[in-house]
Structure 1
């Protein structure tokens, strides 16, 4: 089950970042449905991956890392969800959303 959740989590990341890059190149800057779906998938599968704070085992996730990733993930989702109906988005808002997506991936990869 963990591998299925991890696979879905990666698909969410691909939707979120791919949607952001596509929209950035297409202009005007707005939140597309791929970004909203990707952010939602990231939060839901992230919760599923973090839920088994199993109590024991050598693969116990670091609670601080999970908290940081959770806060960033929720920020991304909120930024995407509540801005999805705007016709044009402020470039700072859009780039912050894309940047937070990359920061969240960096936390996942580099925080050991």
Structure 2
């Protein structure tokens, strides 16, 4: 295994940890009955965005296993929207139910795009 492959695997692992932080933080917050953006959600969105950008970088030289540019663009738009929704409302004592559930829904849609779009 070369260094670039190791970097890709570490970034993929960190990307999954970011997803777990984002979704797990949202579920934990939802169960409290107080809809707000917690630090786990913020850090999850940051990790997802940064590691996603690193994973999308053309480091491997192309080939059939490279994700389609359209898929990467969709995932970037979703990740940027999630990050904006979390970052700009992180200091509010409470967010609307629609805002909170849209953040969760976009997180799940982003994971679905990653999983099902081949």
Tell me whether the two structures share a fold, i.e. TM-score over 0.5: yes
| TM-score normalised by length of structure 2 | 0.92
2:8 aligned with 1:2? yes
Matches within 5 A, 1:27-106: 27-52=33-58, 54-106=60-112
Asked if 2 retains the 8 angstrom alpha-carbon contact of 1:13 and 1:38, the reply is: yes
Which moved further from structure 2: 52-61 or 30-39? 52-61
Q: How many residues align?
A: 112
Runs of 5+ consecutive residues of structure 1 not aligned to the other structure: none
* Contact 1:43–1:77 (8 Å) recurs in 2: yes
1:55 Cα deviation from its structure 2 partner: 4.2
1:18 alignment counterpart: 24
Q: Classify the secondary structure of the residue corresponding to 2:21.
A: helix
> How far 1:54 sits from its partner (Å)?
4.3
Q: Distance in 2 between matches of 1:88 and 1:105?
A: 26
Q: Separation in 2 of the partners of 1:28 and 1:39?
A: 20
Q: Is the 8 A contact 1:53 1:60 kept in 2?
A: no
Q: What TM-score, normalized by structure 1, do the two folds share?
A: 0.97
RMSD of aligned alpha carbons: 1.0
Give the superposition deviation at 1:27.
1.9
Residues in 1 aligned to 2:47 and 2:114: alpha-carbon distance in whole angstroms: 16
